[in-house]
Amino acid sequence: MNKREPKSRVVRELVLRVRCTADERAAWLRKSRAQERSLSDYARHVLSTEPMQRRARPPEIDPVLLAAVGRAGSNLNQIARAINTDRKAGRAIDLLAMCTLLMTLDRQLAEIVAEHSR
């Protein structure tokens, strides 16, 4: 298996303040948005010699699908919370019931994704 080295993340702590007119700021924002960048990224590129790297645009997601997956995630969190509460209280956990619940949730998620993949 080919493992990649994790990229070291650059932490930018300093803030550069620039005085400008409202028109200048609006023009800079238009230029940065035309290149699908934040104003900070755009200014950093213009002020340095670093080439600007393109970011992949995230795919468009159907809001109905996102809400359905969110509800399923909420159900999963409730199941995990109940298991952890019972375990900490020393109560026996019905593994068969938990397995059944998780399989039902898995089936529901598969149906949701299949319905929105058509």
> Average pLDDT for residues 70-83, to the nearest whole number?
88
41 in Cβ contact with 32 (< 8 Å): yes
Dmax of the chain from CA atoms? 67
pLDDT at residue 2 tops 60:
no
User: pLDDT confidence of 30, banded at 50, 70, 90?
Assistant: very high
Q: From CA 55, how far away is CA 45, in angstroms rounded? A: 14
Give residue 59's pLDDT.
80
Give residue 52's pLDDT.
65
Interior/surface letters 48-59, b for 16+ CB within 10 angstroms, e for the rest: eeeeeeeeeeee
